[in-house]
Structure 1
């Protein structure tokens, strides 16, 4: 979820709807309003 030593982990995979529901995902924050 973060860069550098805090990065490199996959938090969620699946449909855009599934990703949007992952609270730990920075991507979800931007994706959710579009769905």
Structure 2
């Protein structure tokens, strides 16, 4: 779980914390599948 959180935070950093709804959902989906 910690790894998924790190990936989520990394994705936020790359996007400058400007998350679109679709991007957030995609990240959550990847966490669930991962």
Flag whether TM exceeds 0.5 (same fold): no
Name the TM-score, length of structure 1 as normaliser.
0.25
Name the TM-score, length of structure 2 as normaliser.
0.25
Larger helix percent: 2
